[in-house]
Each structure stands twice: as structure tokens, then as C-alpha cells.
Amino acid sequence: MKTTARKFTWKFIGYFSLFYVLINLLLLLLIVFFIVRSSSNMTSGTLQAQSTDTIQSLIDISNEKNITIQQELSQALKDQDGMLLIRNSHGDIIKSFNNHEKIHTLSWYYLQGVTTWSLTEQYQAVLINRQPLVKAAELFDLEETVALHRYMDEHNLSLFKQNMEKDKLIKLYGSFNTKDVEENWFKDLNNDNFNKYVLQETMHDDDYYLFVAENQNARDKRIILAENGIFMDKDYMAFALNFLLWYLIYSSLIFGLILALAYYVSRNFARPLIHFVDWLSQLSRGIYRVPDNKHIYRRDRMRRKYRMYTSVDESIRELTEKLDNDRTYQNRVATLRDEWVSGITHDFKTPLSSIYGYSKLLNSDLDISCEDRQKFAEIIEDKALYIDSLLKDLNMTYQLKNNHFEFNKQTVNVGEYIQQFIDSFNHPNLHAVNQLNQNVKLDKERMNRVLMNIVSNAFVYNDDIEVWINSFADGNDIVIEIGDNGKGIPQEEIPYIFNRYYRGTNTTANNEGSGLGLAVAKQIVENHNGQISVHSSIAGTKFQIRLPRELND
């Protein structure tokens, strides 16, 4: 039992663990999918850093008159304030995307804000950065001071000049604090973008200048993940790593709880199932009793936590009881059969001995008178008829059992039929109580055998009694009752009197019956689609034969 319980428990834990692992794998795959999808989005990094292969895959130049770009690239141009130009091999701009101003020659634009990719030998893609700092640098290079100041005011920009000798900044235009910008400039030089300013350096007339704007994503730390220039936020990565760490801790705790729960549940599920398996195994070995299991039962009832198995328990209990009753019944039948075989052997042997002995006398040289010869012949005939009766009983019971016996049913009047039987039986203590004037279909010869067996047993097993036969209608049945005022049948024998081989013991007479009479009677009645029953007490015995009314004409 312990081995079975252990196997069941590990199997249960295995299923729980597999289910949990599958759920976690699915969740992790979803997380990886969204990370990859996010990292592959053009808005997650600068367009300037994208590879030639990436840009070529996003631009369709198969038709020069209808050049198109993917939605992903179009959205990135809007988000990053970029203008995309498509040039042919002659330098002519044949298509532009996300342009909101007059297009100039490339020399007009701030060179640090221009990025190019070769699409084919004939076409080139040009990205012009139109972010405020870049456009301000263009106006500064073009020395358009009035337009520059107006543009810087519109976008809240400041301009500083670097003093190389004193290593400090000199504010030329704008509202930002010089000292504050210097501190953040130092951070920017140390590749720390965790500051509140965005800086754009430029050079003019051998001097260094610095355009400054507010960092709209002040906590936007970015790191390069691949050579194609795709960027991810450091904060996002920190959050992702932190999430994974806590997820592993939480997942481990949950997995431990699931293992504990699986073990507890499996033990509770396994214990009654193993109990039932052992019980059935016990039945297969011929042990027909309920196992004494204190873990399952309390005060002969299943414990509350196992009540869900009540129907299973009741079913196996019924099976156990039935098998035990069947074994008892089979043992009793076997005993009766052995006793019957012994008795029937004796019953055959006794008349055969008489036949053999008297036939020897008749064939001997002894001087036997005619009267004695006649007497011996009559004895031999009587014993032969008795043996013939025994053989007929045996033959009939097996023919009835195997449905090899044909019935010749005919319509008879119940009252007249019973009176005819009483007249033929010719016993002064046998009477008819009621003359039912209704017809019923039956085989008179076979039904006579039934009545003969019952009435004969009444007189054989009792001394100086009265026997009566009554008939009446009861609903859809015709009832024939045979009653007597004898001493009755012992109650312990009543369940067996219709069994083959059973021979009653309540007699003072020398009964030489075959033990098949009432068994044959029961089979004959049932072949008439009827029922036979018996009720007995110290006041007498009453047999009741019920025949269905639909057998009537």
C-alpha cells in the first residue's frame, strides 16, 4: 500500500509541477515576445543609427513614381521629427516624407543632422533631423541671427560658448542658468544622460558652441543593445530585471506552496483510492469483509473529508455483501447437492436392492408358491415405478431449466379444474373452499404435478391434518391457494424449499422423495408466467400460486 501511495503522490505532484511549468513558460514567452517586439520598433531607437539593411527593408522603390515606406518608418519620422528624402543618382530629390518646409540642397542643412543610406545603385535615402536643437544649429551656421533668436524663443532653447582657456561656459542667449548647465554638461561628457538638459555641440569659426534644451525624458537612460543602433531605456531594463528577480522569488514561493498543496491533496485523494484498490484486491482473494481502516472510517462511517467517496464505498460494500452471501449460498447449495446425491443414491439403491433380491428369488430353484411369486412381482413393479418416478423428476427439472420442455396450455375453468384434481387425489381430508367461475390458460397435466407435490408433502410431513384448496381473483391475477393446519415448516428452511436438491427434515415418515418436487413446481408455475410463494407458521402452511389474468380468455 505504501508503494502505491508513493507512486500516486509523485504522479500527482508531477502533474501539478508540469502544469505550473507550462504556465510559466507561456508567460515568459509572452514577456520575451513583447520585449522583442518593443525592441524592434523604430521608435525605440534613433533613426540615424539604423542599419542600411533595416532602412532598405522599410522602403519600397520598385516603382519610382510610387515610392512608399512602411508604417513603422512613417511613425518613427513623426516621433523623431525627421524628414526623409529619396534621391536618384543625379542628386535630384524624387520623393519626400514628413516634410513641413521648403526642401533645400543638402549643403544647406546642418551636416551633423544629415544621415544617408544607399538603397540601390540608383537611389539613396537621406534623413534630415528636424529636431529643435538641429534646426537651431542650421540657423546658427547660416548666421540668420534674427530667425535664430525667434526660433530659440519658440522652443525655449539657450546658446552657450565654450571658453577653452577658463574651461567654462558663457551664455550668449536664452534663459537657462549657466552654472546649472555646466554641471549637467559635465555629466553629459561622462556619458551620463540622467540629467534635465539635452545638449547639442557645434563649431563655428574655430569656436565651440553649445545649444541647450530641456530634456523631456529626464530619466531616459539609453544603452545600445546591438550594432544596428537599437536603443532601450536603462530604466526599462532595470524594471525588467527587477521584475524578473521578484518574479523568480515569487514563482519559487508559489511553486513550493503548489508542491505542498499537491502533496497534501494527493495524499487525501490517494488514501481512499488505495483503500478501495486494496479492498477490491482483497475481494479477488476471496476475503469478503470490509477492511478495518481507521484512517478512512470513524465509528463505521467515512470521515468527513472522504465523504465524496461515499457512493463508491456503498457500492463496494454492497458488492462485498453480495459476494459473501453468494459464497454462503453456494456453500449451502454444494452441501445440499452432496446430501441430495447421497440421498438419491440411497433412494435408487434401496429399490434396486429389492428388485435384485426378489428377481433372484424368482429365478432360483426354490419352491415358491403362486401367491408369493405374485407378491414378489408386484414389489418389483412397485420399485421399478418408483425409480421411473425419480428419473422423470430429474429429467423434468433439467428440461425446464434449459427450456426444452413444451407446455400444452388450454383454457380451463378454475373451479372445475380444482374439483377434478380433488376428486382424482381421493383423500378424505382434502377439500375445496371456493369454486371460482373464471377461465385460465394452463397445462393441466403440469399444473396437476404442482398441486400433487404440494398436497402430497402436506400429508407426508404432517399427521392427521386438513388440506384445502382455495381460488379467487386478485386484481390482474388469478390466485390458487393450498393451505393446511399442520405444524408448519421451520423458518430457517423456507428460503430453500424451492431449491433443487433440498429435502425437508420436518417429517416423521420414511420420506423417499427426490428433493426436486417443489423445485419442479416452481419452474412449472414460472413457465406459466406466474409466481409461487409460501407462508408458514406453527398454525400451518399456505402455498400461493398467482397466474396473470392476461392468460385468461
Percent of the chain with pLDDT strictly greater than 90:
14
Decide if pLDDT at 231 tops 70: no
Mean pLDDT value of segment 169-197: 75
Length of the chain, in residues:
553
The average pLDDT across 301-330 equals: 85
What pLDDT is recorded for position 226? 42
DSSP 292: -
Which residue(s) pair with 541 in the sheet? 484, 536
Residue-level pLDDT at 404: 60
Question: CA-to-CA distance for 316 and 469, rounded, in angstroms?
Answer: 46
Residue 390 identity = L
In this predicted structure, the answer to whether residue 222 has a pLDDT above a threshold of 80 is: no
pLDDT at 40 over 80: no
Nine cell digits for residue 101: 518646409
Nearby residues of 266 by Cβ (< 8 Å), 6 or more positions away: 8, 9, 11, 12, 13
Average pLDDT of the chain is 80
Residue 161, all three cell numbers: 560658448
User: Do 320 and 283 touch, CB atoms closer than 8 A?
Assistant: yes
pLDDT over threshold 80, residue 164? no
Q: Which is more confident, 189 or 268?
A: 268
Mean pLDDT, residues 156-165:
87
Confidence grade of residue 221 (pLDDT, cut at 50, 70, 90): very low
pLDDT band at 546 (very low <50, low <70, confident <90, very high): very high
| Spatial contact of 270 and 5, defined as CB atoms under 8 Å apart | yes
User: How many Cα neighbours within 13 Å face the side chain of 523?
Assistant: 22
Q: What percent of the chain has pLDDT over 70?
A: 82
- In sign, the C-alpha dihedral spanning 186, 191, 192, 196 is positive
pLDDT at 534: 94
Predicted confidence band at 472 (pLDDT cuts at 50, 70, 90)? very high
For 220, residues 6+ apart whose C-beta sits below 8 A from its C-beta are 193, 233, 235
pLDDT at residue 225 tops 60: no
Give kind and range of the element (H or E) at residue 542. strand 540-548
Tell me the average pLDDT across 124-139.
87
Q: Phi and psi dihedrals of 266, rounded to 5?
A: -65, -40
Q: Where are the alpha helices (DSSP H) in 40-171?
A: 52-58, 71-79, 132-141, 145-154
Beta bridge partners of 457: none
- 23-27, 482-486, 515-519: which has the highest mean pLDDT? 482-486
- Average the pLDDT over 263-271 and give the result: 71
Distance CA 511, CA 533 (A): 23
Q: How confident is the model at residue 6 (pLDDT cuts 50, 70, 90)?
A: low
**What is the pTM assigned to this prediction?**
0.38
Average pLDDT over residues 269-277: 78
| pLDDT reading at 510 higher than 50 | no
Query: Tell me, what's the pLDDT at 330?
Result: 85
d(CA 485, CA 477): 25
pLDDT at 481: 95
CATH number for the segment(s) 406-548:
3.30.565.10
Q: What is the pLDDT of residue 549?
A: 74
Answer yes or no: are the C-beta atoms of 130 and 155 closer than 8 Å.
Answer: no
